[in-house]
Amino acid sequence: MDPESIRYDNETIIWTSEGNINNGLKPFIRIADTNGRFLKEMILANRYLPNTNSNSGPRNNGVFESLTLSQDEKGYWVAMELPLIEDGVEPTLAETNSPVRIAFVNKKTGRFEKEIVYELNKVERPAINGATFEVNGIVGLIEYDINRFFVLERSYSMGYEDGGNTVKIYDVDASKATDVSSLKSLLGANYTKVTKKLLFNFETIRKDLTNAIVDNIEGLTFGPDFNNGNRSLIVIADNNFSLYGPQLNQIILFELEK
């Protein structure tokens, strides 16, 4: 079990786990009551299940990283952190074709329905000081209007004293995106992706943060409105149990100007 995203919805808790693909443990989306008792598990499309085929399926630690309630209140949107193997390659320092699926899950039936495509950026920085690990993926998602999302995209490279994270928030429009749920593979397929516009780059405030560190920011949610009517947006870091070195329990509050 690798819990990643959690949301509150009408006296229930919805949460995701990436599982452990390398060990054959499936990811999941589950619903519990507010006392933590299991209520329901969503039915995953086969493409999201671990398998022994090296040419298809999810990548380890690259599955359901983010979840949001849908604005129509009929279900949830869940985003892959990394592309399915059959859809494209993982981001690298070079420009790649790295599309990830964002899927709508019907609240009543528990089944996956519409799927749209978001194109990942390349990795921002090379790993240094003898390290080799680099990654970039979707780590946070929130639908703020019908077919409109804020997406957290985080690039991480090992070896940096500043944490190695480059984090950006994108304003995403999915109104013209193709439903690709019927496509077994995105490679060579004809479809329209969501459009994305940079909303905020955390590099612009790095010097103002504790120790000039942008930590492993992986969660975002709306908070209470400000007195002037503007909405608040809160982001939070996942500290990975500090397995890779000291981290901050970093929480940052933003005001969304109209």
pLDDT digits over 63-75, tens only?
999 999 999 999 9
Q: Rounded CA gap, 152 and 81, in Å?
A: 10
pLDDT above 90 for 251: yes
Q: pLDDT above 70 covers what percent of the chain?
A: 97
- Mean pLDDT (the chain, rounded): 95
pLDDT above 80 for 1: no
User: What's the whole-model pTM score?
Assistant: 0.95
Residue type, 178: T
Q: pLDDT above 90 covers what percent of the chain?
A: 91
* pLDDT at residue number 244: 64
pLDDT above 80 for 79: yes
pLDDT above 70 for 243: no
The CATH class given to the 3-256 domain equals mainly beta
Arithmetic mean of pLDDT, 37-59: 95
In the chain, what are the domain boundaries? Answer: 3-256
Burial 211-237 (b: 16+ CB within 10 A, else e): eebbbbbbbbeeeeeeeeeeeebebbb
* pLDDT at residue number 240: 74
pLDDT above 80 for 76: yes
